[in-house]
Amino acid sequence: MKVKRIVANIETADPAAVARFYEEVLGLRLLMDHGWIATYGTDGTMPLQVSFASEGGSGTPVPGLSIEVDDLETVHAGVVKGGYPIEYGPADEPWGVRRFFVRDPAGTLVNVLMHTG
C-alpha cells in the first residue's frame, strides 16, 4: 500500500471568495468541482507531505497550510493588492526560507514560502 495523494480540506461558507484567493493570488486552477467541494491545484507532480507542529517557527502560530512558491515577492504583491491580511513577514528564516503568513477568506492561516538556499 502507498499513499497517492493528500488533500487539505478547508471549511468555508464562501467558496467563491476562497477560490478567488487561490486562483488569482497563487495561480492554482480548478481541478474538480462538485458544487459542495472544489479542488484547486497544478498538473505537476509534487511530493506528498504532512507536518505536525507545536508552533509555526520563530514563535509564530501553526499555519493550516504551507505553500511553497518560486516567486515570493510576486505572491506577496498579489496578497497586498487583494487586501488579504498579512499576519507575519515577509521574513528570512534561519532554516533557509523567506516567507509570510496570510489569512485566506476562510480564515485559514497560510504560510507562503520560498526556499532561499
C-alpha span between 115 and 117 (Å, rounded): 6
Q: Which residue type occupies 91?
A: A
Q: pLDDT tens for residues 69-115?
A: 999 999 999 999 999 999 999 999 999 999 999 999 999 999 999 99
Q: pLDDT tens for residues 51-69?
A: 889 999 999 999 999 999 9
Distances (CA, A) of 2 to 9, 10, 44, 49, 102: 20, 24, 19, 13, 33
Q: CATH 3.10.180.10: does it fit domain 15-43+55-115?
A: yes
pTM of the model: 0.87
Instruction: Region of 35 please: left (phi>0), alpha (psi -120 to 50) or beta.
Output: left
Q: pLDDT confidence of 23, banded at 50, 70, 90?
A: very high
Q: Which residues in 3-33 are b (16+ Cβ under 10 Å) and which e? A: eeeeeeeeeeeebeebbebbeebbebeeeee
In the chain, what are the domain boundaries?
Answer: 15-43+55-115
